[in-house]
Amino acid sequence: MIVELQLNGRPVRDDVAPQTLLLDYLRDRHGLTGAKRSCDVQVCGTCTVLVDGLPVSSCCTLVADVDSRDVLTIEGFAELPEFERFERAFVDHAALQCGFCTGGMLLTTKFFLDAGLLGTNEEIRRGLSGNLCRCTGYHGIVEAVAELAGANE
Amino acid sequence: MTIIERQPLAHVGRSVPRRDAHEKLRGAAQFVGDFVVPRMVHGKVLRSPFAHARVVAVDASEAEALPGVVCVLTGDDLTDLDPYWGHAIKDRPIVALDHVRFAGEPVAAVAAEDEATAAAALNAIRVEYEELPVAGTIEQALADDAPILHEGPLRPGLFHGLGELPPREGNVCYRYRIDRGELESVFARADLIVEGEYSFPAVYQYAMETHTVVAQVEGEEITVWSTCQHPFLVRAELADLFAVPLASVRVVVPYLGGGFGSKSYTKMEPLTAALARKAGRPVRIQNRVDESMVTTRRHGMRCRMRTAMTNEGNLVARDVDCWFDTGAYADNGPRVTATGGDAAPGPYRWHAYRVDARCVYTNTGPAGSYRAFGAAHLQWIGESQIDELARRAGLDPLAVRRDNLCLPGEELRNGAKSLDADLIGDVEQAAAAVGWSEPKRANVGRGVSVGLLAAGAHPVSTAIVRLEADGQVVVLVGTTEVGQGPRTVFAQIAAEELGVDVEQVTVRGTDTRFTPYDRSTGASRSTTIAGLAVQRAARQVRDQLEEIAAGDPLEPTAYPELLRRHFGFTGGELIGSGEVAPTGTGSYAEGPVFWEVCVGAAEVEVDPETGVVRVRRTATVADVGRAINPQLVQRQDEGATLQGLGNALFEEMVFEDGQLLNDTLLDYRVPSFADLPNEMTCVIVENEDGPGPYGAKGCGEGALAAIPAAVVNALADVGVPMQELPLTPERVWRRIQTLKEEGKWPR
């Protein structure tokens, strides 16, 4: 089947098997390997991409379901001017270690910040709880996101 | 308090930004699953559905005939090899030969043009099994009529490092015993004795990146790109298995998506290489989470312990029996057992102790390394007994530790390195950080814990530092970047020694064809041992520069000019090499290289109506000698704290008749943002008492042993002593009901 979508701000048109998962499509067809595969059951968040601005688990989404929609991966996000602010906060707070979860973490953060839903530390913890990180213990990420959100302790 | 005068350092001791942050934040960092090797095909593994069975026949003819299938590997393809591997004990075939010993054991593997074809081909392989009785638990494996998993003598692996292996006794593949003093007479004279039986569950390391390997075999040349922490040990095992020289095996390690021990030693590399050998093309095998869960895990353990004290609060004796469930193959079980045995007495001045630790085969997935192994198993038990003794004697648990902990320089274990840390200072700081002396509300408790972990593994590392003609520096060192930040730390060390900026130093991943030998990335050893090799290599370059400069000032901006002076040409480079080996005297001749400090404290609140334990405050002590990058040290402790909370509160692999029941992240829960304590403190202690560069010693594991122990003690402080982990709400609630029936709740 043919799908047409906006991928990182550029129109793409591809012939795909109907059962193709968005994660495999991004990684194998477009070489966008920033979205990672881990749990396969929508728990870990490391495959997160934004579809029309909303975070989805690309491991459990058919590419057919994003036909004619707008998909943003971490590679696309990194090209946007606002990314620099995110990068600085995550670097300053050492909010990453192995980096495997980091792309998904940043995209989920972007969604919640865009939606104005991360006012307090409690909201940050709740909002990001669909993204797992095994290295950092989360503390640095909370600090970085709080700084981005202008949230107070 | 000792005041240490420090010479001012330019880069060491500063929280410089991670050198890999830019790549990782932008999704550009490459992991093994992210790249494609030309002509690469996809591998899938057929795994045994039975926990214990004879393999009567494997028929792959139908699968091999499917379009797109390149080949199917079975035991029949290994007749030209000695197909057994295992760094501690060579007990494991590349694929099952005639016997499967755990549910999930590889029986065959398919290579196909795409993953879907490979998956379809698995269904077309016919395997005839004959089920055997299952020893799914330690108790079943130790029973008189237990099925024996491995017949015949055990063969030592290349890196067992445990002296002469004792002979196998039934399903006990390794036994580690230590003792001191006249145990029974000391117990007989003691005033207070606490004893109990305890259990620690099997848990999963869950590195988010699953085990992934790409292998290519061309004649004698074997190349693997692997998610491995110990590339040089993998290289040696592959060379041994396929009977080729070390130089014919190339192991390349890009970034790893977490390890925590799950990627230590050899895992999926032999199977992938054997499949690639048959396919004649490069093959990638990428585990699913359920496959990685049966590739390696932490040992479940059962323990019987008793500890004795005098009425005055002198700890006098401890007696420990423990059994580690290593699953169907030894993996790192013998080392885990020995480290657990050394950790069991804890760092106290005992008159007598006895430890008897056994490593037991069962029909479950193999267990290996996981952060703070051994100490994580035993510390919570020993420390909870000390708190119970303190309660019975009416003493403050902190005071009992102050009076009984070993002091720096005191002998801990017969013949081992003496204590190299100020544990009393450490535990007092941890206690203060959770408000030890503040008043407590009802249902709120506080606990501390102290332990040690034999760290450093075998102290062999080498490094090469290259000063390029443009003044840039390249460090070649075999440490794996698992997330802990060695590339940043090594860049700081090289920059410090050569006077250049950290940004001028490049440290990349290991390629055993070019990178010099490093024993392994684990046991908290990299900053200490590989870091020392980097420091020595950089000093060699500095020495050469000084010679070339012949008295001229050594300004980094003048390095290109000095190289031109030396080579008479815009080119050439200066090469320094550094080595650490177990020679001479001191830390590198004794064992362990250093004792990693495992000190922590916690404050918890329990809801007696539901049994839910909420961890309000935690504190850990990173007693690191010298923090080369304090922010990275703090993040290590925080990461280990969260993993410790998972181990303490809810993580548990549930097996039934050897079958893993919770093999997805839906029903095996790991800590999320929601599990963060309200306050998490990391105290960094810098006494410059480590054997690494600038007095540094390793960290990153201790908190994972200390936190479960502190949480257990805090819960006991509320009045709910527990002898089984994890502290699930149901288990805690049931304990409270029992305490009510006994008239002990509320206390």
**Selected residues 195-254 of chain B with any CB under 8 Å from a CB in chain A:** 206-210
State yes or no: pLDDT of A80 exceeds 80. Answer: yes
The DSSP symbol for B518 reads: B
The predicted structure's pLDDT at residue B6: 56
Residue of B nearest to A125 (CA): B673
Distance from CA of B531 to the nearest CA of A (A): 19
CB B457 within 8 A of CB B519: yes
**In this structure, CATH architecture of domain B21-30+458-588:** 2-Layer Sandwich (3.30)
Amino acid letter, B263: K
The DSSP symbol for B493 reads: H
Helix/strand/coil (H/E/C) assignment for every residue in B251-312? EEECECCCCCCCCCCCCCHHHHHHHHHHHCCCEEEECCHHHHHCCCCECEEEEEEEEEECCC
* Domain map (residue ranges) of chain B: 21-30+458-588
Domain with CATH 3.10.20.30 in chain A: 2-76
Q: Is the ipTM of this complex over 0.90?
A: yes
**Selected residues 570-629 of chain B with any CB under 8 Å from a CB in chain A:** none
Pairing mode of beta strands A48-51, A70-72? antiparallel
The predicted structure's pLDDT at residue B590: 79
Closest Cα partner for B487 from B328, B254, B269?
Answer: B254
Any CB–CB contact under 8 A between B119 and chain A? no
The predicted structure's pLDDT at residue B7: 64
Distance from CA of A111 to the nearest CA of B (A): 16
What fold characterizes domain A2-76?
Ubiquitin-like (UB roll) (3.10.20)
Distance from CA of A59 to the nearest CA of B (A): 12
The predicted structure's pLDDT at residue B69: 98
Contact A96 B21 (CB under 8 A): yes
The predicted structure's pLDDT at residue B4: 52
CATH number of this structure's domain A83-149: 1.10.150.120
Residue of A nearest to B31 (CA): A100
Contact A90 B28 (CB under 8 A): no
A interface test, pick of B18, B20, B23, B26 with most A CB neighbours within 10 Å: B26
Contact B255 A46 (CB under 8 A): no
* pLDDT < 50: residue spans in chain B: 1-2
Amino acid letter, B189: R
d(C-alpha B352, C-alpha B349), whole Å? 9
Distance from CA of B444 to the nearest CA of A (A): 22
Residue of A nearest to B638 (CA): A137
The predicted structure's pLDDT at residue B290: 98
State yes or no: pLDDT of A106 exceeds 70. Answer: yes
* Exposed / middle / buried, residue B394 (Cβ in 10 Å: 0-12, 13-18, 19+): exposed
* Exposed / middle / buried, residue B319 (Cβ in 10 Å: 0-12, 13-18, 19+): buried
Show residues of chain B in contact with A98, CB under 8 Å: 24, 207-209, 255-258, 481-483
Residue with tokens 């004879």: B54
Any CB–CB contact under 8 A between B192 and chain A? no
d(C-alpha B514, C-alpha A41), whole Å? 39
Closest Cα partner for B698 from B523, B491, B535?
Answer: B523
pLDDT in tens, A17-35: 999 999 999 999 999 999 9
Report the mean per-residue pLDDT for chain A. Answer: 96
* B62 assigned to active site: no
The predicted structure's pLDDT at residue B584: 73
Show residues of chain A in contact with B635, CB under 8 Å: 94, 97, 135-137, 139-140
Contact A139 B680 (CB under 8 A): yes
The predicted structure's pLDDT at residue B747: 82
